Structure 1
Amino acid sequence: MSKREGEACPRRKRTDSVQKTDEHNSNTSVNLSTPVTAAFKVFQQELDTKHDKYERLVKLSRDITIESKRTIFLLHRVTSVPDVEEVLTEAEVKLDGVRQKIGLISEELRGEDLYQFHRAFTPGIQEYVEAVSFHHFIRQRTLISLEEINAKLVFMKDCDAEVTLDDQQPIGPPQVLTFQVTPTDYLLGVADLTGELMRMCISSVGNGDIDTPFQVSMFLRQIHDGFSYIGNTGPYEVSKKLHTLRQSLAKVEDACYTLKVRGSEIPKHMLADVFSSRAAMIDQDEGVA
């Protein structure tokens, strides 16, 4: 017997062994009625339900972010239109639409732990806080409180399921749903507000409004003082945005300084260009790209 023929036998034995193992596995059926399998099916259902809810909340958050940004862009028109109240009324209608989407979030979170899904919708809520606080500042020249924001996030939901014998009207009063903006989301939204106020300050000067920059400057100083008390003891995102807040305050103060000291030397139609160039110089000095 040759050497090649001697090597063929063990190889054939290994092949036969693998084939028998595959046949054994194919003939063995998994018992789906065991308690362990049933428990894992329940876990699978719970995880799928949670992931689906998370994705729905992410989509709602994106819609809220988009509509809130559109409201902010609309509000920036107050520096260039004769009828400010018309712009504010239109913005209020848009904010009502955003609140309806927040109502859908509150419906999704009914009976759930808010902090399990907080990361899914926090960007949209922060953008909403920025938009509603910007609207409030333009009208009142003050900062809207967290309680005032939450007071408008109360929604009425019709009762489900139960009906009368004639199958016409549901039984029971409508259900009240509420959504509570967290203090962290409120602070992050207010921190983003400072950038919009800085842009409004520059735009108002370009349109001949000399009073707004000084009002915005005083307002930003108060916000900066409040955030300084938090410092590094608050949430990481809040302390990170404190640097951006200081940049916005520096640009507004620089604009006020230029108006006070050199306002009479610069024509009004050139003030906005001067402020924009000086703001760019401040960014370069602070290492901002």
Structure 2
Amino acid sequence: MNKREGEGWSRRNAEAAQERDAHANSSSPVIAAFKVFQQELDTRHDKYERLIKISRDVTIESKRSIFLLHRVTNIPDTEGVLNEAESKLDGVRQKIGQIAEELRGEDIYQFHRAFTPGIQEYVEAVTFLHYIRHRSLLSLEEINARLVFMKTDNADPKDSAEAPPSSAHVLTFQVTPADYLLGVADLTGELMRLCIGSVGNGDIDTPFQLSQFLRQIHDGFSYIGNTGPYEVSKKLHTLRQSLGKVEDACYTLRVRGSEIPKHMLADVFCTRTTHMDTEEGVV
């Protein structure tokens, strides 16, 4: 068989297969079952993609809130910055309400990978705001308590007076313990940056408070050990780095603070931090 005859044979087979598909018995139980499977998979895939898009919006707005919160070390009106960040996070919570709406009646763990990056970023943002205001760690229960949403099912727009009224229902979103731990682990990096900003402004009290707070977080993660999620153990290295840099800042302030002008402390600290990163292979 030459090449041209082979191509013709393949084409005839393809056309025959298409003809068989076209004349397939649509009432066959097998065909009907597979059509149901196709519809379920398409619906699940579309929901997964929508969750990814919402999670991306949650991540972006949470990062903007974090960047805004870092301004508290540079301006006198800290309460105005905190209120603005709180307003942004209210918008983020509305986005999480959309996630709760998508997950209504679903097993959240089947879609967890789609929205977990945004939830971790949200936990990082709200715990950062809470620490700046109260100098304490926001608990998982307190976070979940603010993720309760009232949703209204709008009735069909009809002029008839007999149209059913709109009904309201309550939706809740529960941050998983793993997402909470991962968000808190990322929080330590923001606290380290807050320490640098405080040193640059001559604030010698905040670094020591941050050092004690980060040590408590580190000790808490140490209790988890290797029994926690794999992603948590991966972030422990970054947590230890952040703690080491804050403790190094406290060392610089305690030992050399009296001999270095306040406006130069941040430069000395950043130089030592860069040196530490180079030795650890970070830079």
CA deviations over 1:45-65 (Å, ceiling 9, x no partner): 000000000000000000000
Deviations 1:137-171 (A, max 9, x none): 00000000000000000000013447996056615
Alignment-derived partner of residue 216 in structure 1: 210
**Contact 1:163/1:171, CA 8 A, preserved across alignment:** no
Once the two structures are TM-superposed, the CA of residue 208 in structure 1 deviates from its matched residue by 1.3
Cα 1:286–1:18 change in 2 (3 A) is: closer
Deviation for aligned residue 1:26: 6.4
2-side partners of 1:249 and 1:199: how far apart? 11
Match of 1:135 among 126, 129, 134: 129
Q: Where does residue 70 of structure 1 map in the other structure?
A: 64
2:263 counterpart of 1:269: yes
Rounded Cα–Cα distance in structure 2 between residues aligned with 1:124 and 1:226: 24
Match in the other structure for 2:174: 180
Aligned residues: 279
Q: Which residue of 2 aligns with 1:3?
A: none
Per-residue CA deviation, residues 16-43 of structure 1 (Å, 9 max, x unaligned), is 9889867865664222221100100000
Aligned partner of residue 155 in structure 1, secondary structure: strand
**Would the aligned equivalents of 1:163 and 1:170 in 2 still touch at CA under 8 Å?**
no
Structure showing greater Rg? 1
Q: For 1:188 and 1:38, how far apart are their aligned partners in 2?
A: 44
Do the aligned partners of residues 107 and 266 (structure 1) sit closer, same or farther apart at CA in structure 2, a change above 3 Å counting? same
Structure 2 runs not aligned, ≥5 long: none
Q: Say whether 1:206 aligns with 2:207.
A: no
Structure 2 residue aligned with 1:47: 41
Partner of 1:156: 150
Q: What are structure 1's unaligned runs of at least 5 residues? A: 1-6
Which deviates the most, 72-81 or 155-164?
155-164
Q: For 1:23 and 1:200, locate their aligned partners in 2 and report how far apart those are by CA, in whole Å.
A: 68
After superposition, residues 1-289 of structure 1 pair within 5 angstroms as 28=20, 29-161=23-155, 166-167=161-162, 170-172=165-167, 174-289=168-283
Opposite residue 192 of structure 1, the aligned amino acid is D
Asked if structure 1 preserves the Cα contact closer than 8 Å seen for 2:65 and 2:125, the reply is yes
In structure 2, the CA distance between the partners of 1:26 and 1:58, relative to structure 1 (3 Å rule), is closer
Q: Distance in 1 between matches of 2:17 and 2:34?
A: 22
Give the root-mean-square deviation of aligned CA atoms.
2.5
Q: Is the 8 A contact 2:155 2:164 kept in 1?
A: no
- Cα deviation, residue 182, structure 1: 0.2
Cα deviation digits, residues 214-265 of structure 1 (max 9, x gap): 0100000000000011111111110111111000000000000110110011
Q: Secondary structure at the match of 1:158?
A: strand
CA pair 161-202 structure 1, distance change in 2 beyond 3 A: same
CA contact (8 A) 1:54 1:120 kept: yes
The residue identity in structure 2 corresponding to 1:199 is: R
Paired residues of 2:147 and 2:174 also in contact (CA < 8 A)? yes
* Normalised TM-score (structure 2): 0.92
Query: 2:182·2:231 contact (CA, 8 Å) conserved in 1?
Result: yes
Distance in 2 separating the partners of 1:17 and 1:281: 70
Name the SS of the counterpart of 2:153 in structure 1: coil
Q: Which amino acid aligns with 1:62?
A: R
- Equivalent pairs: percent with the same residue? 73
CA distance in 2, matches of 1:18, 1:184: 53
Q: Report Cα offsets for 1:83-120 as digits up to 9, x if no partner.
A: 11111000000000000000000000000000000000
